[in-house]
Amino acid sequence: MTSTLPAQARFRYVLRLADTSLVLGQRLGEWVGHAPALEEDLALANIALDLIGQARLLLAYAGEIEGRGRDEDALAFLRDAPQFCNVSLAEQPNGGFGRTIVRQFLLDAWQLELYEALAGSADARLAEIAAKALKETRYHLRFSAGWLVRLGDGTAESHARVSQALAALWRFTEELLTPDALDEQMAAAGVAPPLATLRPRWEGRVAEVLEEATLKRPEAARHPWHGKRGVHTEHLGHMLAEMQHLPRTYPGARW
């Protein structure tokens, strides 16, 4: 089934998964040494490490599909923002701990559903990577949902802070659940799940945790952003400038 798909389409789809993990892992890496307590420092570093690990497996696979000799580092460090295919939510700045937790929870809940479905993908290699990532994502969600509930149902201040973060980031969630042509092509080939099947599961899990956190689901409109098609927010360019500066300053150097 998958062999009938154009390599370019499979390449782009795997990059979406890879870049989302990479960009989110890079953001969490900014926290290390600065978290509210030592335990959270360790947990955020742990999640960052898992996400970078997922990105490496996926980028290496994307490079193989593309067949132009680009390895994980060529793809991570030598593409510019418009070639990145992560969902826009992943690149949003850390803000405070509350905003980081909201971003993490919304994405963890989504990656959980996505990886669960991808573990049964017609693409065996992708299925294998997803099965590994799924185990990690269960832990990530446990951490982020646990903190969202504590912050939402903690003090008046924490409730206010986390509500504000939720309101600010909610607009990026539509992109997670709205399929474009590539998503549909992958679903038709049995490589990826139809995003329509993910929506009710994601909505259900989010509603359950928000309720326990005594948080209201934001009313804000959820316009689809287009990070996965390479149209990003202003934040990604800055992140990449920092992340890519060494390989770009010393072209061809080995580290």
If binding is defined by CB under 8 A, does position 146 make contact with other proteins?
yes
Nearer to other proteins, 43 or 186 (CB): 43
Q: How far is the CB of 90 from other proteins (least distance, A)?
A: 15
- Identify which of 88, 101, 230 has the alpha carbon closest to the alpha carbon of residue 173: 88
If binding is defined by CB under 8 A, does position 142 make contact with other proteins?
yes
Q: Which of residues 166-225 bind other proteins (CB under 8 A)?
A: 205, 208-209, 212-213
Q: Distance from first CA to last CA of the chain, Å, rounded?
A: 39
Q: Would you list the DSSP string of 93-161?
A: ---SHHHHHHHHHHHHHHHHHHHHHHTT-SSHHHHHHHHHHHHHHHHHHHHHHHHHHHHHTS-HHHHHH
* Window of 79-87, 139-147, 165-173, 174-182 that interacts with other proteins by CB under 8 A: 139-147
If binding is defined by CB under 8 A, does position 153 make contact with other proteins?
yes
* Window of 45-53, 86-94, 120-128, 194-202 that interacts with other proteins by CB under 8 A: 45-53
Among 3, 4, 39, 219, binds other proteins (CB under 8 A): 39
Asked if residue 216 lies in contact with residue 163, where contact means CB atoms within 8 angstroms, the answer is yes
Q: How far is the CB of 182 from other proteins (least distance, A)?
A: 24
Q: Which of residues 3-32 bind other proteins (CB under 8 A)?
A: 22, 26, 29-30, 32
- Identify which of 57, 59, 33, 58 has the alpha carbon closest to the alpha carbon of residue 45: 33
Query: In angstroms, what CA-CA distances link 98 with 10, 16, 33, 46, 148?
Result: 35, 26, 17, 18, 8
Give the C-alpha separation, 26 to 81, whole Å: 14
Residues in the chain: 255
Question: Applying CB under 8 A, which residues contact other proteins?
Answer: 22, 26, 29-30, 32-43, 45-46, 48-49, 52-53, 55-56, 59, 72-73, 76-77, 96-98, 135, 138-139, 141-143, 145-147, 149-151, 153-155, 157-158, 161, 205, 208-209, 212-213, 242-243, 245-247, 250, 252-255
